[in-house]
Structure 1
Amino acid sequence: MKNFSNVLIMGAGPAGLSAGYVLTQQSVNSVVCEQANAVGGLARTIRKGNFRFDIGGHRFFTKNDDIHKFIMDLMGDEVIKVKRKSRILFCGKFIDYPLPIVDSLLCAGIPDCFIIPFDYMYQKIDGRLKGKKIISFEDWVVNQFGRKIYGLFFKSYSEKIWGMPCDQVSADWARQRIAGMSLKTTFTKALFKWKKNSPSSLIDEFNYFKQGFGRISEKLAEHIQKANRIYIKTRVVQVQHEEKKIKGVVISQKGCLYNIGADYYISSIPITTLVQIMNPPAPEEVIEASKNLRYRNLITVHLMLNQHKVTSDHWIYIHDRDIGFARIHEPKNWSIEMAPPGKTSLVIEYFCSRSDKIWNMSDENLIDLTLHDLVKKLCLIEKEKILDGFVFRHPKAYPVYDIGYETHLYKVYQFLSDFKNLYVIGRCGMFRYNNVDHAIETGVKAAHNILGANYDL
């Protein structure tokens, strides 16, 4: 292993690999270190025999023309166009998502059909008259949809994702994830269909890739490895610094420790981890701030079935509280190459914390629990059709935007910004709940900054 390079990249998800790709294209000596046994992070594609599985399902859609061209040029003839179909399972009924106004009103029931529009107008007027501040996720959704729609379609699902009441979740999450959505835009979409400037949450078509979303990371890695190195199963255990400059890192690989130095460092590892492995240690108030930043874990249960198809959906969102998982996707509906002929598969997502019972459950028990809910409660599949199954656990998958998180994050950013040869990028690296196109953009811009640009990340 070389003990020095021009740039050291921590993390081989789409953000880190995009940075490595740009640097490699410009003949910059660099090395990428990844803790997992494969590249891609949460956006990888897992292979099991002739089946391919994304972890949770990822679409590619961006409003950034440069990033769109970057990925289209990279992927070439692997790109396919997919017409989106998603549904919500609510009170035993399937309704389309994004919410079609007629279906949602009918699902709510005749009395609520009349209440919903008046409730929405009341919340708008009341909020303006009283000057209500939008602080929590609950505040934001009630303001955009009314309290009735919030209670029917947002509250239970969001609390299942975050494991906390919606009035404890910051409105920033809504602003980033469902920005532009409201009862008004839902009506507009129903009446006038999709427009180019519609919110990304409402798009009807997206790009995907014949053999899974993870092909982005795989192709980026292939290009990097033509001139540079990617080390998997390699964990950064210490970041050494002196006089406001990162001097080197200590990595753990196959039970051995190695020191690696570089001129510049790019980190997409969780920002909390980065702060807590600094040597000398970060100031106590910064360490405490990092400990107050939390991530949500993801478990995916992957099932292989001996049948042609289960649904025609890309995603199914499960609101019912008595079912532990929150979302299902069927990979074959994204690309026919994700499963062998005559077979299909399902990916079932659980959101949890390390202390939750579900996180600590054995794989066998978790698969049994999942099958019980799919077979007995949802009646989606027959147990006899199951060929095989496995479980994937991804810690620190999603940054948690609880009320006040931004105060803690500011302290961490202030500390890290002092290091002029360090760039933090990506979802976990920046503690920013963004989409994969934004993560890729941060990696590309960080690389260009090292090459002389001055982008604001």
Structure 2
Amino acid sequence: MSTTTDPQESPLTVLGAGPAGLATGFYARKQGLDVRLFEAADAVGGNARTLQMGPFRYDTGAHRFHDKNDAVTADVKALLGADLRRIDAPSQICWRGRRIDFPLAPYNLVRELPLSLLVQIAWEQLSIPRVSENAEHFEEMALQSYGPTLANLFLLNYTEKLWGADADTLSPRVAGDRLEGLDLKTFLLEAFGGSKTKARHLDGSFYYPKHGYGQIAEATADAIGRERIRTGARVTGIAHDGARIQRVTINDTHSVDPETVVSTLPLPLVLRLLDPPPPNEVQAVAGSMRFRHLRLVVLGLDRSRLTPNASLYFPERSVPFTRLYEPKNRSPDMAPDGQTVVVLERPCHPDTTAWQQPDDALRAEAVSLLADHGLVARDEVVASTHHEVPFAYPILEVGAAEKAGRLKQYLDRFDNLHRLGRSADFAYTHTHDLYSDARTLTQSLAARTPPAA
């Protein structure tokens, strides 16, 4: 692939400056490695940025930092200091005018659901097999974990709306850890033991930065050194000799000769960028891998709070949005005193009318949803904007892991190419996982790479 500039050498080249790329750059510098990051967007952070609308701040996703890895938590705390705060804000489901705790908590179900439904749910807890670890697809897992009533009310419709696919075509992995913890003993203990014994499996406690989740990305970029990060730098070609990556082309005009490459780009995209291209059968597999995109509607409200929750979920098919999150419940600094901001997510496939719907129409649907649920009066909306999040989630269909495995196996032939991140591995991961994986990878690279001068 020809370029108009002379190639430059880069010992460690990281493709993408989202959370995975930034984590790689951060730990590479801690290991003394010389690193350069190339990011297509005009800012770092990928799909975990914090944006501003007048006095309102909002994230490009309902992100939370979980304290699941002591070493990673310590590193992020060192980056942000007192700005990283412990938050306790559980989530709920909006269902027929009621609020149901999510993940599902029996004590709350007893308070909110009609007696006839509770009797049916309790009976099902005695009969469901609870062997969900062997489930072939998400629908089977949900039915075996919660029984048909709870699964159909709160899980299956929502999951199909979120992923844009039938529940029996989705891998059980789409559940993450959300279905853990509700066994028969827990159900009876929490249902009849009162509020003090409930919610041991709820995930409402997490860390969150003072100025928004994107503050983690910004602090990480500062620690790497901004001079090592080039934004507005889209990867347009990856040349190889069959065994090693020889050249990475940026914006069709600039090229880099890397010693080592860490790609955080979507897995199918890397296959499409290879020069020479992979065999037709590998390209066909890459072309069959799908991602879910998001459209966000952001509303500034002339009221101090909308709800006490981190997120509200909308499982009903009649509602086009899947989730609402209120940044001020994560940090009071996300909106002025007396006002708040909310973000509604609408998942889309890129070739659908939902993705192409005019912004004004999508905003009107968002305001109508909140008004119909009695959450806001229409005149309380004082500001609005929209944002698109491409490649938000890899769609984990049944068989997707095997397809991803075939693509990874092909890429493994390049001994100086490594992958890291949700899109790069086509797997659902959290920020703490990305930082942990980056830490491990860069330690390995440092063990066989001379330190930077």
User: TM-score, normalised to structure 1's length?
Assistant: 0.91
**Partner of residue 214, structure 2:** 214
Check if 1:436 corresponds to 2:425: no
Q: Distance in 1 between matches of 2:68 and 2:351?
A: 38
Q: Superposed, which structure 2 residues align to 1:107-256 within 5 Å?
A: 107-124=112-129, 133-174=134-175, 176-178=176-178, 180-184=180-184, 186-187=186-187, 190=190, 193=197, 202-225=202-225, 228-252=227-251
Q: Does 1:48 align with 2:59?
A: no
Q: 1:91 to 1:124 in 2, by over 3 A?
A: same
Q: State the partner residue of 2:319.
A: 323
Aligned to 2:405: 410
1:30 maps to which of 32, 35, 39? 35
Give the C-alpha shift of residue 194 in structure 1.
7.8
1:298-337 Cα offsets, whole Å, 9 max, x none, are: 1111111222222221111111221100111111111110
Specify the alignment match of 1:271 in structure 2. Answer: 267
Query: Residue 87 of structure 2 aligns to a residue in which SS?
Result: strand
Once the two structures are TM-superposed, the CA of residue 179 in structure 1 deviates from its matched residue by 5.4
In the TM superposition, 1:69-84 aligns within 5 A as 69-84=74-89
Residues 185 and 385 of structure 1, relative CA distance in 2, 3 Å threshold: farther
User: 3-state DSSP class of the match of 2:304?
Assistant: coil
What is the CA distance between 1:118 and its match in structure 2?
A: 2.2
Measured against aligned partners, the alpha-carbon deviations of 1:406-434 in whole angstroms (never above 9, x if no partner) come to: 22111101101111111100111111111
**C-alpha contact 2:60 2:389 (8 A) present in aligned 1:** no
Give SS of 2:354's match. Answer: coil
Q: Cα distance, 1:188 vs. partner?
A: 7.6
| Alpha-carbon distance in 2 for matches of 1:122, 1:28 | 57
Give the conservation status (yes or no) of the 8 Å contact 1:87–1:316: yes
- Distance in 2 (CA, whole Å) between partners of 1:312 and 1:108 is 21
CA deviations 1:147-189 (Å, max 9, x no partner) are 2211121111111101122111111222x34253334475388
Q: SS of 1:261's equivalent?
A: strand
Cα RMSD between the aligned structures?
A: 2.3
After the TM superposition, which of the residue ranges 395-404 and 41-50 deviates more from structure 2? Answer: 41-50
Structure 1 residues 294 and 218: alpha-carbon distance in aligned structure 2, compared to 1, 3 A threshold: same
AA aligned opposite 2:243: K
TM-score, normalised relative to structure 2: 0.91
- Aligned 8 A contact 1:194 1:203 in 2: no
- Structure 1 regions of 5+ residues with no counterpart? none
Contact 1:168 1:403 in 2 (8 A): yes
Q: Deviations 1:179-234 (Å, cap 9, x if unpaired)? A: 53334475388357589xx76xx2342111110111110001111126x4211121
Counterparts of 1:229 and 1:170, CA distance in 2? 39
SS of corresponding position for 1:371: helix
Is the counterpart of residue 39 in structure 1 residue 39 in structure 2? Answer: no
Alignment-mate amino acid for residue 305 of structure 1:
L
Q: Which residue, 389, 395, 400 being the options, matches 2:390?
A: 395
Q: Give, in angstroms, the shift of residue 293 of structure 1.
A: 1.2
Cα separation, 1, equivalents of 2:236 and 2:273:
6
Deviation of 1:120 (Å):
2.8
> Hey, what's the Cα distance between the residues in 2 that align with 1:320 and 1:179?
19
Query: Could you tell me which of 258, 278, 288 is aligned with 1:292?
Result: 288
Aligned-partner Cα distance in 1 for 2:348–2:321? 10
Q: Classify 1:17/1:154 alpha carbon distance in 2 versus 1 (closer, same or farther; 3 Å).
A: same
1:97 maps onto 2:134 in alignment: no
Mean Cα deviation higher: 111-120 or 12-21: 111-120
Query: Does the aligned pair in 2 maintain the 1:15–1:444 contact within 8 Å?
Result: no
Give the 3-state SS of the residue equivalent to 1:89 in structure 2: strand
- 3-state secondary structure, aligned to 1:43: coil
- The answer to whether the Cα contact below 8 Å between 1:23 and 1:30 also exists between their aligned partners in 2 is yes
Q: SS state of the match for residue 155, structure 1?
A: helix
Q: Which amino acid aligns with 1:356?
A: T
Aligned to 1:314: 310
Aligned residues, how many? Answer: 440
The superposition leaves residues 259-290 of structure 1 with CA deviations (integer Å, 9 ceiling, x where unpaired) of 11110001111011011110010121211111
Identity of aligned residues (%): 28
Q: Deviations over 1:47-91 (max 9, x none)?
A: 222221012221111322221212122221111111122111012
CA distance in 2, matches of 1:283, 1:37: 34
Q: Which amino acid counterpart does residue 94 of structure 1 have in structure 2?
A: R
- 1:139 Cα deviation from its structure 2 partner: 0.9
Following superposition, the deviation at residue 379 of structure 1 comes to 2.2
More displaced, 445-454 or 217-226? Answer: 445-454
2:163 & 2:31 partners in 1: Cα distance?
41
Q: Distance in 2 between matches of 1:101 and 1:275?
A: 46
The answer on 1:446 being equivalent to 2:441 is yes
CA distance in 1, matches of 2:30, 2:381: 45
Distance (whole Å) between structure 2 residues aligned to residue 302 and residue 178 of structure 1:
26
Deviation at 1:355, TM superposition (A): 1.8
> For residue 58 of structure 1, what is the aligned residue in structure 2?
63
**Is the 8 Å Cα contact of residues 144 and 181 (structure 1) preserved in structure 2?**
no
Task: Indicate the SS of the match to 1:53.
Answer: strand
1:356 to 352, 370, 373: 352
Q: Is the 8 A contact 1:54 1:214 kept in 2?
A: yes
Aligned partner (choices 7, 11, 22) of residue 12 of structure 2:
7
Instruction: Tell me, in whole angstroms, the C-alpha distance in 1 between the residues paired with 2:231 and 2:104.
Output: 42
Which one-letter code corresponds to 1:119 in the other structure? E
Match of 1:282 in 2: 278
Structure 1 residue aligned with 2:328:
332
TM-superposed CA distance for 1:138, in Å, is 0.9
Rounded to whole Å, the distance in 2 between the matches of 1:373 and 1:320 is: 12
Q: 1:345 aligns with which of 341, 347, 350?
A: 341
